[in-house]
Amino acid sequence: MIMFFSDRYEEDRRARARGWKEHNAGVLALLRARGPEAHISGHGHQMFVDCRLALIVAAIRIRKRSPLNSHQWMTIPWSQIPKTPKDRLVDIMSGMPSILESIDWLEQMPRGEDYDEFRKKVIHTCWGYDAQLCAWYEENVPKDRLLLLEQNTLDSEGAFRPIPVDGEEYALPTEDLSIVYIMTVYCTACLLLYSTMHSLNVPDLPERTNVSQFINKIALYLQVFFHPSTGQYGLEMTSFPLGMCLQILSSNFPIGGDPVTERAKFTRLLETERGKEILDFLRSMLNTNETTKS
Annotated domain spans of the chain = 83-287
pLDDT of 172 reads 66
Report the alpha-carbon distance of residue 94 to residue 57 in Å, rounded.
Answer: 8
First to last CA, the chain: 35
User: In the chain, which stretches have pLDDT less than 70?
Assistant: 1-20, 155-172, 227-236, 252-257, 285-294
pLDDT of 73 reads 96
pLDDT of 65 reads 95
Task: State which amino acid sits at residue 101.
Answer: E
Rg of the chain in Å (alpha carbons): 19
Local structure of 70: helix, strand or coil: coil
pLDDT of 170 reads 54
pLDDT of 16 reads 63
Report the predicted TM-score, pTM, of the whole model to 2 decimal places.
0.85
